[in-house]
A and B are shown apart, each in its own frame.
Chain A
Amino acid sequence: MTDSKQFSFPDENGYYGQFGGAYIPEMLQANIDKLQKTYQSILADNDFQKAFHTLLKDYVGRPTPLYFASRLSEKYGTNIYLKREDLCHTGAHKINNTIGQILLAERLEKKRIIAETGAGQHGVATATVCALRNRECIVFMGEKDMERQAPNVARMKMLGATIIPATSGSKTLKDATNEAIRYWINHGEDTHYIIGSVVGPHPYPAIVAQLQSIISEEIRRQLLEKTGDALPTHLIACVGGGSNAAGAFYHFLHEKKVQLIGVEAAGKGVESGESAATTFLGTTGILHGCKTLLMQTKDGQVVEPYSISAGLDYPGIGPLHAHLFTSGRAVYQQATDDEALKAAFELAKLEGIIPALESAHALAVLPKNKFKTTDKVVISLSGRGDKDLATLIDKM
């Protein structure tokens, strides 16, 4: 087995190392079974690939630029490139996945799409592709998040989606995911569930990672064009569930020379009791159908995470990341709310780009790492900051 295989693809049972699998009740077995048996052939199919890439180009606006950030580079004494996922249609990388999964749903002949959303970015990306491909769309969103992210709720409604508030538990992303899974249990025969991150039962982490891998495919090509070498020295991306990081790391997983850095939300500080620093605080357990690292009590009750960024406010990480972390292939660092805010303002002032608060966490570790003047540091700028303006204005 090559390194590339070991990290890019789960084994036949859906495990990345010891993490992954499909820990689902029997009520989901038929649907998951069908997905497991068909996803590889559907994703590899020529017609699928053609339709996927055409939409990415003409509708999403790919390839997104790899931008050399000269003033930021100067400040940190190195060479910093920003992968501009914030320029995707709908404002974040999330749509790479939903475009692929709506095409998958069509091939599975499912008439209805469901999705969970935290900040609303994945919900908007799902509602968008449902409008595009004429599918019924239901988005589950924590009642608390619906208040925090009202503009995205309005966007989803305008796109024709039905929003169902998750009123159980802590009324945030974790509970929205529970509600989406429960809905799927009750309506499995005609419904496809578009999970928004590299989480959930096998084969979801593999599907989402593969669809997001377009990010690193482009980085390789663009970096080669710009510098004559396809490999950066460092690749930095924020990690909630970890889909933009999985996509940005994907085609570099087997390149040992590339240092992969995932950045988790430390909220008010990793030891504050209010954070989402999963690799730092988490232990092995089962969440949303997969074995992974998650934040939990000693009794195995899932702990409610906290971050200023709703997109990183998740108590687990995808099984691929759990494996990259425990195997040491990638390192995971933490950035607090304040550090992320500072980085967001810095990027706005130095480069004229207002990043999403999620992406600002990736920028926030720049001062914490030592770079050489010859290093090439690629940062995944996963989303734009429009949705966070209310929070940002508050801190000005």
Chain B
Amino acid sequence: MSRLQKIFAQQKPILNVYCTAGFPHPESTMDVMLSLQEFGADMIELGIPYSDPLADGPVIQESNATAIKNGMSIQKLFADIKSFREKIHLPVILMGYLNPVLQYGFEKFCQDAAAIGIDGMIIPDLPDAVFEKQYAPIIKKYKLDFIFLVTPETTDERIKKLDRLSSGFLYAVSSSATTGNTNKLTGINAYLQRFNALSLHNPVLVGFGIGNKEMFMEVNKLAAGAIIGSAYIKAIRDAQNVNTATKSFLSSILG
């Protein structure tokens, strides 16, 4: 059983928190991860900063720009994580756009990620057809999980295909929008019920626009849990102390 599968076997709502690596400060990554672990997150999603993050709204865009200025890169991120991965018992997944991964080398990326205990990855602009043809065997070789996104506009047939290609979980985008964009979850129940009717083999986590306890509780009724990104970035971007800011943020969601 993979670390991700074990988390979902707990039968409780799963909270996956996203943070851009190297944000808000060059050496914040360890602080952020240890704090998220200490105050109750179930999974950590680390963003690899990119100059042109197309699927992201202003909050995460800005965190990407800050992290690049802070000198964050895949090389640095891997070196950082290697130095403290043993302190983190939560599953860690990486979220990044395809171009930086391609420049690093896809197989080398997977090999190095697996070697430092990364559990899985999300690459939102990697087309499923290309994944299937070129990259799925590499993911498998290094025993990583790979997670696809689906949206309310994704057809049932396509949801099934993306579920089949995914492992770990399926990432349900709350609405067709960029990250951090919605404050209400219109039609979310009907959307989530569709997944249940499709008898997918992966648990479903809901992300994009989830920013408070009420929304977290709402999606937990029908999904395995939620992913919070922009709201957490906002909570720590100007914080004096990442640890206390994370504590108060997570207690506002989980408390």
Contact = CB atoms under 8 A, between A and B. Distances in A.
A301 B64 CA distance: 11
B186 interface: no
15 contacts: A13-B129, A25-B54, A168-B65, A169-B51, A182-B54, A182-B55, A185-B177, A186-B177, A188-B153, A286-B98, A296-B99, A296-B103, A299-B103, A300-B104, A301-B68
A182 B58 CA distance: 10
Instruction: Please classify how large the interface on chain B is, using the bins under 10, 10 to 19, 20 to 34, 35 or more.
Output: 35 or more
Interface residues of A, number: 33
A286 B55 contact: no
B102 A300 contact: yes
Nearest to A202: B127
Contact of A289 (B101, B125, B153): B125
Contact of B173 (A13, A23, A27, A284): A27
B99 A26 contact: no
Contacts of A21: 127, 130
Interface string A270-286: 00000000000001111
Given A186-B176, A188-B176, A300 B50 contact: yes
Given A284-B102, A299-B100, A300-B103, 20 more contacts: A22-B127, A25-B124, A26-B154, A26-B173, A27-B55, A27-B153, A29-B158, A30-B153, A168-B61, A168-B62, A169-B52, A185-B55, A185-B178, A186-B177, A186-B178, A188-B153, A288-B54, A298-B103, A300-B100, A302-B52
A30 B242 CA distance: 39
A168 B126 CA distance: 23
B177 A286 contact: no
Contact of A302 (B51, B55, B62, B124): B51
A201 to B, nearest CB: 9
- Which of A169, A182, A188, A284 has the most chain B CB atoms closer than 10 A to its own CB? A182
Interface of B: 50-52, 54-58, 61-62, 65, 68, 73-75, 97-104, 124-127, 129-130, 148-151, 153-154, 158, 162, 173, 176-178, 181
A299 B178 contact: no
Contact of A26 (B75, B104, B150): B150
A33 B200 CA distance: 23
B61 A23 contact: no
Contacts of A285: 99, 102-103
A178 B54 contact: yes
Nearest to B208: A27
Given A23-B127, A25-B149, A26-B124, A181 B103 contact: no
